[in-house]
Amino acid sequence: MKFKLSFVLGLLSLNLFAEKIPAVPVKPKLVVGIVVDQMRYDYIYRYWDKFGNDGFKRLVNEGFFCRNTNFNYVPTYTGPGHASVYTGTTPSVHGIIANEWFDKQTGKYMYCAEDQAVNGVGTTSGEGKRSPVNNLTTTITDELRISSNLKSKVIGIALKDRSAIMPAGHTANAAYWYDGSNGAFISSTYYMKELPSWVQEFNKKELAKKYLFQPWNTLLPIDQYTESIQDNNNFEGYLKGETGPVFPHDLPKLMAANGGLNLIRSTPFGNTLTKDFAIEVIKNENMGRSGATDFLAISFSSPDYIGHTWGPNSVEQEDDYIRLDKEMAELLKFLDTQLGKENVLVFLTADHAAPEVPAYLKSLKIPAGYVDEGKMNYELKNFLKKMYGDTLVLSMSNQQVFLNHKVIEEKKLFLKEIQEVAAAFLSGFEGVAETQTAITMNSSSYTEGARYLMQNGYNVKRSGDVLINYLPAWVDYHHTGTTHGSPYSYDTHVPLIFYGWNVSHGSNADQVNITDIAATLAMMLNIQFPNGCTGKPISVLVK
């Protein structure tokens, strides 16, 4: 009896001290990734008092806000931005070095989502010849599909094709984007042979036309837009057919001169249309009900178009975000009703931010300015031709110079020398902070500062021979409205909020790279990191 008792106690002791094997955690039914195109970090606080309680405020007040999130490469453009969020790595690895780049193999320009091997579905225009083929790595959405033996449903949507395609990844069930030639959401044969019947029915509603058959006036009395400068100023662009950058914008009258139904992109109603379509995707595709975790990637493109035209201090941009807050509230409320907050994991970030309009800064006596990349290209070509007797510059784009390697080899010239001569010549232009050669990018390893970001954006096979960085607040752009692409915080600092399933409320100011999002999602979902991932999980979210 004594032996039996000690034996039982021994077994109990072993059991108590044995390592406990964790149960397989319950996963969310649906992940909703939201990217707001050209959303600066400060917009959350700048417009806080104008927001309702159920949109951006709800995300912040109930979610976890990573307040010090930055892009860790340049250039900060839409294509690379969406690719980096979802691959968890930088253009040096995933290869999407810009929205469009000079292809050294063909001598032509390559659009980031271009695929001549496919055709449009739902359109006869060239806007349908799109796919993720130029992305060299998997995305977190690809890894989700692979982990579930393709049971998880993944769909990407946006007005911009690249903003739908890059997040959806290579294995997506579908990606849909907007075609202004017919006012419809379209896809390509990469994903499907024909649009689902529900998409066709949605397109038949002609919502873009409906939204554009109304003037765009401010949602609030215009004197309440105290976070913006005066409506009529010299720092904003305006639509063709207008005489100034002022409200109201008579959209029905302006359509013909501004791309017809494409005009919706440059209005807050582009966000409304995107939200409408997102809700229909969730309902008609039964997102969150597949038995595996599904993933809907949404990108709101209109803030970028509005920022480019009117700039970050405009009443137009403030009105856009006040209205976007209401769209966000409606989407979150729909998710509550459809699946329940506890079953949906949401994250919100941006693909890049934006600088102040340099002309506006100059009016405040702040150093700023404009460079002329076309002039730089012209003068560099002539300079090198005088030195070496031949045209050695094939292209200058995205702040990079592409040299003619074939001619350099034929003339038995030294590539390193020409790169250095070109870099030194360009350094003399006003507004240029520094230049770096490709050979230096390949032979050095930077760990901080602009050179580190330049190196992360440099892809050996796709990038140019000389990289150029401008001074802070210097851009190659019009003297109205804004652009983006630099290594400075005004372009790299973006919001990042996680909300919903398994997310506790809080915030911190710890440094987070945009590439950490995919790594964090992989840990939360217990799946593989994307195969080129260089990001690290955000520890506070995966404890």
Q: Are residues 503 and 463 in the same domain?
A: no
- Strands (DSSP E) contained in 147-225 are 154-158, 174-179, 184-188
Residue where the block lists tokens 């290594």: 487
Alpha-carbon span 345 to 524, nearest angstrom: 10
Q: Are residues 458 and 526 in the same domain?
A: no
Q: Are residues 305 and 397 in the same domain?
A: no
Instruction: Kindly report, residue by residue over 224-257, the tens digit of the pLDDT.
Output: 999 999 999 999 999 999 999 999 999 999 999 9
Question: Which residues span the domain enclosing 402?
Answer: 372-429+432-470
Burial category of 381 from C-beta neighbours within 10 Å (exposed 0-12, middle 13-18, buried 19 and up): middle
Q: What is the pLDDT of residue 9?
A: 44
Does the residue 239 lie in any domain?
yes
Alpha-carbon span 119 to 429, nearest angstrom: 44
Q: Are residues 446 and 498 in the same domain?
A: no
Q: What is the pLDDT of residue 127?
A: 94
Q: What is the mean pLDDT of residues 167-188?
A: 98
The mean predicted confidence, pLDDT, of the chain is 95
Helix (H) and strand (E) counts in the chain: 22, 19
Q: Are residues 385 and 516 in the same domain?
A: no
Does the residue 263 lie in any domain?
yes
Q: What is the pLDDT of residue 218?
A: 98
Under the phi-then-psi rule, with left for phi > 0, alpha for psi from -120 to 50, and beta for the rest, what region is 449?
left
Alpha-carbon span 140 to 295, nearest angstrom: 10
Does the residue 405 lie in any domain?
yes
Does the residue 10 lie in any domain?
no
pTM summary value = 0.94
Q: What is the pLDDT of residue 29?
A: 97
pLDDT band at 2; cut points 50, 70, 90: very low
DSSP letter for each residue of 290-354: SSS-EEEEEEE-HHHHHHHHH-TTSHHHHHHHHHHHHHHHHHHHHHHHHT-GGGEEEEEEES---
Percent of the chain past pLDDT 70, that is, above it, reads 95
Q: Decide which of 443, 470, 497 is a domain's last residue.
A: 470
Which residues are annotated as catalytic?
78
Instruction: Kindly report, residue by residue over 69-120, the tens digit of the pLDDT.
Output: 999 999 999 999 999 999 999 999 999 999 999 999 999 999 999 999 999 9
Q: What is the pLDDT of residue 411?
A: 95
Given a cut of 60, whether residue 346 has pLDDT beyond it is: yes
Does the residue 480 lie in any domain?
no
pLDDT band at 222; cut points 50, 70, 90: very high
Does the residue 394 lie in any domain?
yes
Q: Are residues 154 and 215 in the same domain?
A: yes
Does the residue 475 lie in any domain?
no
Q: Decide which of 470, 497, 527 is a domain's last residue.
A: 470
Q: Are residues 349 and 398 in the same domain?
A: no
Instruction: Kindly report, residue by residue over 247-293, the tens digit of the pLDDT.
Output: 999 999 999 999 999 999 999 999 999 999 999 999 999 999 999 99
Q: What is the pLDDT of residue 17?
A: 42
Given a cut of 80, whether residue 13 has pLDDT beyond it is: no
Q: Are residues 425 and 319 in the same domain?
A: no
> Which residues, 6 or more positions from 489, have their beta carbon under 8 angstroms from its beta carbon?
70
Q: Are residues 331 and 271 in the same domain?
A: yes
Q: What is the pLDDT of residue 18?
A: 44
Instruction: Kindly report, residue by residue over 355-411, the tens digit of the pLDDT.
Output: 999 999 999 999 999 999 999 999 999 999 999 999 999 999 999 999 999 999 999
Q: What is the pLDDT of residue 31?
A: 98
Q: Are residues 381 and 462 in the same domain?
A: yes
Residue 481 sits at φ, ψ, to 5 deg, of 70, -175
Q: Are residues 239 and 331 in the same domain?
A: yes
Instruction: Kindly report, residue by residue over 23-47, the tens digit of the pLDDT.
Output: 434 899 999 999 999 999 999 999 9
Residue where the block lists tokens 């769209």: 327
Does the residue 318 lie in any domain?
yes
Q: Are residues 200 and 106 in the same domain?
A: yes
Q: Decide which of 409, 444, 470 is a domain's last residue.
A: 470
Could you tell me the CATH number of the domain that includes residue 403?
3.30.1360.150
Could you tell me the CATH number of the domain that includes residue 191?
3.40.720.10
Number of domains in the chain: 2
